[in-house]
Amino acid sequence: MAVIIDGKAVAAELRDDIRKEVFALREKTGKAPGLAVVLVGENPASQVYVRMKGKGCEEVGIASYQHLLHAETSQEALLSLINKLNAAPDVNGILVQLPLPAHINESAIINAINPRKDVDGFHPVNVGKVVIGDEDCFSPCTPYGCQVLINRHVKDLKGKHLVVVGRSNIVGKPLANMMVQKNKMANCVVTVCHTAAPDIAYYTRQADVLVVAAGRPDTVRGDMVKEGAVVIDVGVNRVADPADPSKTKLVGDVNFDEVSKVASAITPVPGGVGPLTITMLLANTLKAFKLQNGL
């Protein structure tokens, strides 16, 4: 049976390190990192994420500035707020919670954020820097969390075959670019496969490290995984609970029961990649503070 990769424990350890560094920097500079989170509308899931981000900031000593706007807020008004946050010296990171209402162009909003404050890692400047391996940038939080978990369970990644199932701009593409770089946290041979592949299993069976971010339950079954592979399941899907059809439960993109019998290590859902996502946002905000203050 596979070792269960405890994302909660790794996140707690990293947050403790972040908290210690934040307080040391406060002693040294008299200032603390600040994160502005902007929510437009009342999407219930987004509201939960914003509260979790505020709680994470409080936990590590990062100042949290939440801007809750009504759903009818115009694109012009949102751009005006972003311009103010770009200029605010106490705001080191800016995150606009997605998705936005249909009348607002997401690309226009992301592009308006100062790349040095883009702690979500979605601005084209940061995307480009990830591609070329420039460390003076912000990696998107979910793939960054995947990278951390992978490094905890594979001590030498050099030449390992990493297969990513999924090609989204949020996980698949950035992770592939991050893991192909020539550095100690990467240096993999990387394959990206997706729905256009006639036989995804042909690729997944070759993986030393398999990351599944397809957005569909049971995308990967036990017979699709090489013996001893490390499996990172990014998916979060709500399905009917077989034990009680009147209820639902969260599952990933991987059939956990089958794959855990083949893999050497695997992330559960929930409790795997999820706890790392907000933790890496906090790490990016700390990094932004240091970059902006020449530290």
Task: Provide the annotated active-site residues.
Answer: 53, 97, 120
Please list, in sequence order, all residues whose beta carbon lies within 8 angstroms of the beta carbon of residue 227, skipping any fewer than 6 positions away.
262
The size of the chain, in residues, is 295
Beta bridge partners of 164: 192, 211
The closest of 216, 242, 294, 293 to 32, measured between CA atoms, is 293
C-alpha–C-alpha distance, residues 286 and 31, integer Å? 12
Listed in order, strand segments (DSSP E) in 167-236 are 189-193, 209-212, 230-233
Q: Are 278 and 52 in contact (CB under 8 A)?
A: yes
C-alpha–C-alpha distance, residues 214 and 202, integer Å? 16
Q: Are 187 and 232 in contact (CB under 8 A)?
A: no
Distance set, CA 58 to CA 19, 26, 75, 154, 165 (Å): 10, 14, 30, 32, 35
C-alpha–C-alpha distance, residues 188 and 16, integer Å? 29
Please list, in sequence order, all residues whose beta carbon lies within 8 angstroms of the beta carbon of residue 45, skipping any fewer than 6 positions away.
none
